[in-house]
C-alpha cells in the first residue's frame, strides 16, 4: 500500500472514530498489545518518540499487522520523520510547528499533524506551497493535510475551545486534534464544542498491561464522543472515572518534549470552607475544593505553560478520584500517584477578615500520604524526563515514613541531576520546631534552592532577621539579606528566596520577596494586595520562581515573575493559581491598575 493511500485510509479512520490513543512505550511489545486491543474498535494508535522503543514498536506492529495504520508522535526533526515513515508510520504528529518535519512528510505525501497554540496558517500555507496548490485548494485536493493539533487543549478552567472555534472560523472545515489535559471528564465538552473534532489522550493506554481494561476505557470514550453534548460538561453530567491502575503499570502522558517537566511530591487534601466569611461554628454548608502545597505548585506550573507531574499517595475511592480529577483538569500528570490507603486528608479553612485572622483545622492523621513509606514510589520512573524536582517541609512533617520517603525522593532527584527546590513551609500544627530542625537539616544536603516565608528560617533553623516582628507585620527587610546569605552558606545552596508579607490585616497585605543567588542579593517589587484568598500564595511564588529560572530568566527577573504570580493568585478563591504566564508578565511589566481587559 503506497504512503498516499495509507494516509488516506488513516484519515478516513480518524474521521470515523475520532479517537487517538497515545503511548510512550517501554517495549515494542507494548505497542503490539495496545494496537491489538484498540484497533478493532477503530481507535488509532500514536506511538510517541519519547523512548527508544518507539521506532522498533512501529516496525514490530507493522511486521505482525502489515496493514496497521499508525501515527508517530512527538516527532521533532526531519530525520525522525524520515525514520518513522520508513518504519511504516502512516502519519506524523509534532508538538509544535517544525517546517523541516512538514517538508519531510509532504515529500512522502504522508499525513502531517503539527500543533500547539500558535495560529495554524503558516503550516497550511507551507503544505499548500510544497504540494503546488493554493491554500484554498489544499482542503479539497489533500484533505488529510487540512488538519492541526491544539495543545494543550484542556488546561486551565475552560481549556482552549474558543481558540479552536476561532481557527475554524478562519479556516473552514479545519480538522482539529485535541490533546493535552484531555480526560474522560472533559472529552464530552470537546465533542459538544466540535462534533468533528479528533481527540488524543494517553489515558487510553495507561492500562496497557491489561488489554480488557484498556478496551473498556476506549469504549467509554467512544461512547462519550458519540453522544456529544449529552455527555459533556455543559450538560452538567459527570462521567465516572474507573479505578486507576497501579503506578508501575501507568503510561506517562505526552506533552511537548520542548517544555521543561517539573515533578512535585506531597499531599493533596480536601478543603472544606464556609461560604464567604462565615465561621465554622455558624456554617451550615461547606464549599469543597482541593489543595496542598506541592499540588498547588504543580497546577500553577501547568497553567503557566510548563509540564508538571505530581507524585503522591491518594486513596482509591470516590473522594480520592475527585482529587486526581481536579489535578488532571489543569493538565497535571498524575500517572505516578500511588492509589493506596483509605482516606484523603482534610483541612477546614475559616476565612478571616479585617482584624480576625484566617484559621485552619487539620484532619489529616492516617491519610494515604501520611502513611507513605520509602520504597513505595519508583523514583526512576517518576523522575523520567524531568529537569526539576520540588517538595516542601510539609511532606516530611506528616510522619516518620513520609520523612524517609522525602529523603528518598530528594536523593533520587539529586542523583538524576535535577535541580532540587524545597519550600520550608513550617507548620506548627504538624510538628515542633525542634523536630523540624532535626528532620530538615539532613535533607538540605540534597537541595539547590530553598524558599521560605518571613518566619520559616527562624522557625526551622533558628536563623532570625534582625528586628522583624512577623506577628505585628513589621519586617526588617534589610536583615533578610543576612538570612538568605546564611542559608546559602550553611547548606551550600545555589539560591535562597524569602517571601515578605507585611500583614496589615486579614484583608490587606503588602507583598514582596527577596533572593540571594550566591553572588547578588535582590529585593523584588512590592504590591499592595487586597486579599481574596491568601492560601496558596507562597506556592504560587515557588511556581513562578521555578518557571522563571527554568525558562532562562535571570534571578532578578525570575524573582519578579514569582512575586507577580503570587500576587495574582491571592486574588483568586481556592488553593490553585489559575493565571497564565502572559497575565503574570503583564503585572510584572507594570500593568497594576486592574483595568478591564476588553
Burial class (CB in 10 A: 0-12, 13-18, 19+), 81: buried
Strand boundaries in 448-574, DSSP class E:
449-452, 495-503, 508-516, 521-523, 527-530
Instruction: Please tell me whether the overall predicted TM-score, pTM, comes out greater than 0.75 for this model.
Output: no
Residue 523's CB: how many other CB atoms inside 10 A?
A: 17
Full DSSP string of 230-277: GGSGGGT---PPPPPPPGGG-------TTS-EEEEE---EEEEE-STT
Q: Which of 424, 421, 417, 597 is nearest to 495 (CA)?
A: 421
Full DSSP string of 96-122: S--HHHHHHHHHTT-EEE-EESS-THH
Q: Where do the domains of the chain lie, and which CATH numbers do they carry?
A: 3-242 (3.20.20.70), 260-588 (3.40.1190.20)
Half-sphere CA count of 110, side-chain side, radius 13 A? 29
Whole-number Cα distances in Å, 332 to 300, 377, 546: 10, 18, 16
Cis amide prior to 446 (ω within 30 degrees): no
Half-sphere CA count of 3, side-chain side, radius 13 A? 20
Residue 527 is given by DSSP the state E
**CB 299, CB 330: distance < 8 Å:** yes
**CB 308, CB 262: distance < 8 Å:** yes
Q: Which of 529, 493, 495, 494 is nearest to 510 (CA)?
A: 529
Whole-number Cα distances in Å, 255 to 150, 258, 458: 11, 9, 40
Radius of gyration of the chain (CA): 25
Contact partners, residue 205, CB within 8 Å, separation at least 6: 21, 22, 23, 34, 214, 251
Tens-digit pLDDT profile for the chain (598 aa)? 344 478 889 999 999 999 999 999 999 999 999 999 999 999 999 999 988 899 999 999 999 999 999 999 999 999 999 999 999 999 999 988 889 999 999 999 899 999 888 889 889 999 999 999 988 888 888 999 999 999 888 865 556 888 888 888 888 899 999 998 888 888 888 888 899 999 999 989 988 999 998 998 999 899 888 754 333 333 332 333 333 333 333 333 333 445 889 999 999 999 999 998 899 999 899 999 999 999 999 999 999 999 999 999 999 999 999 999 999 988 899 999 999 999 999 999 988 888 888 888 999 999 999 999 999 999 999 999 999 999 999 999 999 999 999 999 999 999 999 999 999 999 999 999 999 999 999 999 999 999 998 889 999 999 988 776 655 556 777 888 999 999 999 999 999 999 988 777 777 788 899 999 999 999 999 898 888 888 888 999 999 999 999 999 999 999 999 999 999 998 999 999 999 999 999 998 876 655 444 3
- Annotate 89-119 with b (16+ C-beta within 10 A) or e (fewer): bbbbbbbbbbeebbebbbebbbbbbbbbeee
Cα–Cα distance for residue pair 547/579, rounded to 1 Å: 13
**CB 178, CB 153: distance < 8 Å:** yes
Whole-number Cα distances in Å, 492 to 183, 326, 442, 463: 43, 37, 12, 15
**CB 186, CB 154: distance < 8 Å:** yes
**CB 291, CB 271: distance < 8 Å:** yes
Q: What are the catalytic residues?
A: 539
549 grid coordinates: 529560572
Amino acid at each position: 500500500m503506497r504512503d498516499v493511500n495509507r494516509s488516506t485510509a488513516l484519515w478516513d479512520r480518524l474521521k470515523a472514530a475520532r479517537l487517538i490513543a497515545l503511548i510512550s512505550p517501554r517495549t515494542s511489545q507494548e505497542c503490539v498489545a495496545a494496537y491489538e486491543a484498540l484497533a478493532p474498535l477503530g481507535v488509532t494508535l500514536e506511538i510517541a518518540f519519547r523512548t527508544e522503543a518507539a521506532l522498533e514498536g512501529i516496525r514490530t506492529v507493522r511486521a505482525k499487522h502489515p496493514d496497521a495504520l499508525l501515527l508517530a508522535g512527538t516527532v521533532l526533526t526531519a530525520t525522525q520523520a524520515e525514520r518513522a515513515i520508513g518504519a511504516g508510520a502512516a502519519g506524523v504528529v509534532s508538538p509544535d510547528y517544525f517546517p523541516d518535519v512538514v517538508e519531510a512528510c509532504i515529500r512522502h505525501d504522508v499525513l502531517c499533524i503539527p500543533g500547539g497554540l500558535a495560529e495554524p496558517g503558516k503550516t497550511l500555507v507551507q503544505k499548500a506551497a510544497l504540494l503546488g496548490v493554493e491554500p484554498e485548494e489544499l482542503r479539497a485536493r489533500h484533505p488529510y493535510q487540512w488538519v492541526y493539533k491544539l495543545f494543550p487543549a484542556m488546561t486551565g478552567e475552560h481549556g482552549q475551545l474558543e481558540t479552536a472555534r476561532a481557527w475554524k472560523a478562519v479556516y473552514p472545515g479545519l480538522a482539529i486534534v485535541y490533546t493535552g489535559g484531555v480526560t474522560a471528564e472533559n472529552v464530552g465538552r470537546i465533542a459538544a464544542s466540535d462534533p468533528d473534532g479528533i481527540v488524543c489522550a494517553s489515558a487510553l493506554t495507561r492500562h496497557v498491561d491489561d488489554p480488557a481494561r484498556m478496551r473498556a476505557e476506549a469504549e467509554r470514550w467512544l461512547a462519550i464522543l458519540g453522544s456529544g453534548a449529552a455527555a459533556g460538561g455543559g450538560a452538567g453530567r459527570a462521567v465516572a472515572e474507573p479505578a486507576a491502575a497501579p503506578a508501575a503499570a501507568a503510561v506517562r502522558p505526552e506533552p511537548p518534549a520542548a517544555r521543561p517537566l517539573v515533578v512535585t511530591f506531597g499531599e493533596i487534601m480536601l478543603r472544606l470552607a464556609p461560604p464567604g466569611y462565615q465561621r465554622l461554628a455558624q456554617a451550615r454548608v461547606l464549599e469543597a475544593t482541593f489543595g496542598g502545597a506541592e499540588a498547588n505548585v504543580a497546577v500553577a506550573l501547568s497553567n503557566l505553560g510548563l509540564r508538571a507531574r505530581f507524585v503522591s499517595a491518594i486513596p482509591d475511592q470516590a473522594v480520592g478520584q475527585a482529587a486526581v480529577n481536579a489535578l488532571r483538569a489543569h493538565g497535571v500528570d498524575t500517572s505516578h500517584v500511588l492509589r493506596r490507603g483509605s482516606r484523603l486528608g482534610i483541612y477546614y479553612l475559616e476565612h478571616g477578615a479585617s482584624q480576625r485572622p484566617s484559621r485552619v483545622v487539620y484532619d489529616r492523621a492516617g491519610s494515604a500520604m501520611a502513611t507513605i513509606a520509602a520504597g513505595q514510589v519508583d523514583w526512576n520512573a517518576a523522575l523520567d524526563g524531568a529537569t526539576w524536582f520540588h517538595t516542601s517541609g510539609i511532606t516530611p512533617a506528616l510522619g516518620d515514613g513520609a520523612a524517609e520517603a522525602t529523603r528518598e525522593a530528594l536523593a533520587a532527584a539529586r542523583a538524576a541531576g535535577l535541580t532540587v527546590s524545597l519550600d520550608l513551609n513550617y507548620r506548627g500544627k504538624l510538628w515542633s520546631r525542634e523536630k523540624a530542625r532535626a528532620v530538615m537539616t539532613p535533607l538540605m544536603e540534597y537541595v539547590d534552592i530553598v524558599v521560605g516565608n518571613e518566619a520559616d528560617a527562624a522557625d526551622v533553623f533558628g536563623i532570625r532577621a534582625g528586628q522583624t516582628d512577623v506577628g505585628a507585620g513589621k519586617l526588617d527587610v534589610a536583615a533578610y539579606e543576612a538570612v538568605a546569605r546564611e542559608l546559602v552558606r550553611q547548606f551550600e545552596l545555589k539560591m535562597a528566596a524569602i517571601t515578605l508579607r507585611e500583614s496589615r490585616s486579614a484583608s490587606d497585605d503588602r507583598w514582596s520577596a527577596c533572593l540571594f543567588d550566591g553572588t547578588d542579593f535582590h529585593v523584588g517589587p512590592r504590591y499592595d494586595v487586597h486579599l481574596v484568598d491568601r492560601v496558596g500564595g507562597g506556592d504560587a511564588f515557588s511556581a513562578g520562581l521555578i518557571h522563571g529560572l527554568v525558562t532562562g530568566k535571570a534571578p532578578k527577573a525570575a524573582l519578579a515573575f514569582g512575586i507577580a504570580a503570587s500576587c495574582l493568585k491571592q486574588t483568586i478563591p481556592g488553593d490553585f493559581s489559575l493565571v497564565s504566564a502572559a497575565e503574570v508578565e503583564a503585572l510584572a511589566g507594570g500593568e497594576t491598575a486592574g483595568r478591564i481587559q476588553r
